[in-house]
Structure 1
Amino acid sequence: MSSPFKGQAGVRRIVNAAGYSWAGLRAAFVGEAAFRQLLLLNAILIPISFFLDVSRGERALMVAVCLLSLIIELFNSAIEAAIDRISLERHPLSKNAKDMGSAAQMVGMSVIAVVWAMILLG
């Protein structure tokens, strides 16, 4: 049984999904300072990776972990928006959800630091 909220099929579904994705990226850029900061970090680190004397595999990993931080931030922002939509009341479960999203981003940033350090210092 499919959800009554599901949309079109085929090419129309892909076009709709692309539009929703762009809307999500725009919402993150406009409404989330952390997303803009991570974009800036990516705009610095990714080009730098192309000037370093590393293998293609290492460069791909350096770029991938940078992009992973953006993915994590999108999920973190989505969790925060959903929690705030449900209620602005302070609740331990809401705090846990938001804190776990933040922790995921901290782990993601740690992965960037560790991967870059291992490649550059190893």
Structure 2
Amino acid sequence: MTKPLSPPSEPVNAQKTRTGLHRLWHATRYSLHGLRAGWAEPAFRQEALAALVLLPASVWLGQSWTEMALLAGSVVLLMVVELLNTGIEAAIDRIGPEWHPLSKRAKDMGSAAVLLTLLLCIGIWTGAILQRFFHG
């Protein structure tokens, strides 16, 4: 006769048992680890360096709070999507190095999300620049 399985004494993920400021502290540390991991990726690093110029420029270029938020938000959104794409790629790579059509599809869709966000960002900035310098 086999012994019945008992639940583990420790949760698999300690984060699930944390509450309040303790959980917030650990979540913030995990987020900073994610930003550090993102910095190791050339695409994210390029976008972060561009953000160092574009975020202050959004304050100068935007003619209202809404325009500033749209300009800055498009830059931050691009960085967010890049981090998500990098996460997708890392998860797929963890599964295995062999080529698989579903792995390719996931990576291609992540890349497409970055492309669409980049085009959105370029469109917003182009529109703001044209309006500022050619329409008033």
For residue 103 of structure 1, the aligned residue among 112, 117, 123 is 112
- Correspondence for 2:100: 91
The whole-number CA distance in structure 2 between the counterparts of 1:7 and 1:92 is: 38
How far apart are the structure 2 equivalents of 1:53 and 1:99? 34
What CA deviation, in whole Å up to 9, does each residue of 1:2-27 have, x standing for no partner?
A: x8522412211111100100011111
Q: What whole-Å deviation, never above 9, does each CA across 1:12-61 have from its counterpart, x for those lacking one?
A: 1111100100011111112x100000001111211222222621210111
Mind listing any 5+ residue stretches in structure 2 that lack a counterpart? Answer: 1-10, 132-136
Q: TM-score, normalised by structure 2?
A: 0.81
**Of the two, which has the highest radius of gyration?**
2
Could you list the structure 1 runs, at least 4 aligned residues long, displaced by more than 4 angstroms after superposition.
none
Task: Please tell me the residue identity of whatever aligns with 1:28.
Answer: G
Q: Distance in 2 between matches of 1:53 and 1:79?
A: 33
Q: CA RMSD in A?
A: 1.5
**8 Å CA contact retained: 2:81, 2:113:** yes
User: Which deviates further from its counterpart, 45-54 or 60-69?
Assistant: 45-54
* Counterpart check, 1:28 vs 2:35: no
Q: In the alignment, is residue 64 of structure 1 matched against residue 73 of structure 2?
A: yes
For 1:117, the equivalent position in structure 2 comes to 126
Flag the 1:21–1:53 CA change in 2: closer, same or farther, 3 A: closer
Stretches of structure 1 that go unaligned for 5 or more consecutive residues are: none
Give the structure-1-normalised TM-score.
0.90
Q: Secondary structure at the match of 1:89?
A: coil
SS at match of 1:97: helix
The structure 1 residue matched to 2:54, chosen from 26, 30, 45, is: 45
Residue 107 of structure 1: how far off its partner (Å): 0.4
Q: Is the 8 A contact 2:62 2:71 kept in 1?
A: no
